[in-house]
Structure 1
Amino acid sequence: MKAIPQISEAELEVMKILWELKSCTSAQIIERLAEVSDWKPKTIHTLITRLVSKEAVSAVKIDGKSYLYSPNVSEEEYKSYANKSFLHKLYNGSLNLMLASFIKEQHLSKREIEELKKMLDEEM
């Protein structure tokens, strides 16, 4: 199993764009993030540079100074890692404790509870 790097919340916003587009330039990432944040281009370049240094993202030079970026970690791999990390940090790895807490806090409807039961039955 390959090591999954720690990715900050801000870096995760860059990763979401890369997962969606598969590969893109920093200009495309900046354009997309401008729609949902007030981050400056320099900040976004810093986030991209960090992701490259963490080896979460690869960079291939496409002309004199532009790079094409693509994710080295798939969205599914990252979600699996993040889920396990969250479960371990907050619930000592106990899925039962997490689910009990989630169900209690979320005030699930009967329909939602039935859907959960169905999912659990299908996993058996």
Structure 2
Amino acid sequence: MDKLSLPEEQAMQSIWQIGEGNVKAFLEKMPEPQPPYTTLASTVKNLEKKGYLKSRMIGNTYVYRPTITEEEYKKRFMKEFIQGYFDNSYKAMVNFFIEQEQMSKEELKEILDMIEGKKSS
């Protein structure tokens, strides 16, 4: 599957919230400023071509549903992100955020606590 553009990711966020629906329903779930209906309709068609959505006709309306869950997309995106920007090193990623002062000591401690909690399970 191709990587999603920002407008495609925004559309998928509303689609994942709804689960299945038409373009109008997806548009209503999108935050302001909402794209024009025709723009979103084009984006949805592109998402279908990329394999992120499947469609079926109900009456004279196309109804779409995701073929990938939000969780699956996050896993794939993060894996590619870590590989591409941090040479497949989560340690390098965490270090980057610490050096950029984007992560506090408290947040790092919370992460360590989560890791320790997983180890004891």
Q: Shorter-chain-normalised TM-score: which range?
A: 0.7 to 0.9
* Residue equivalent to 1:37: 33
Aligned-CA RMSD value: 1.6
Runs of 4+ more than 4 Å apart: none
CA gap of 1:91–1:50, structure 2 versus 1, over 3 A, is same
Q: Which runs of 5+ in 1 are unaligned?
A: none
| 1:112 is the counterpart of 2:107 | yes
Q: Using structure 2 for the length normalisation, give the TM-score.
A: 0.88
Bigger RCO (CA 8 Å, 6+ sep): 1
Q: 2:56 aligns with which of 57, 60, 63?
A: 60
Tell me how far 1:102 sits from its aligned partner: 1.3
* Residue equivalent to 2:20: 23
Equivalent pairs counted in the alignment come to 119
The percent identity for this pair of structures is 24
- Mapped to 2, the partners of 1:43 and 1:54 lie a distance apart of 17
Q: Which runs of 5+ in 2 are unaligned?
A: none
- Mapped to 2, the partners of 1:13 and 1:21 lie a distance apart of 13
Q: Using structure 1 for the length normalisation, give the TM-score.
A: 0.86
Contact 2:20/2:66 (CA < 8 Å) preserved in 1?
A: yes
* Residue equivalent to 2:79: 84
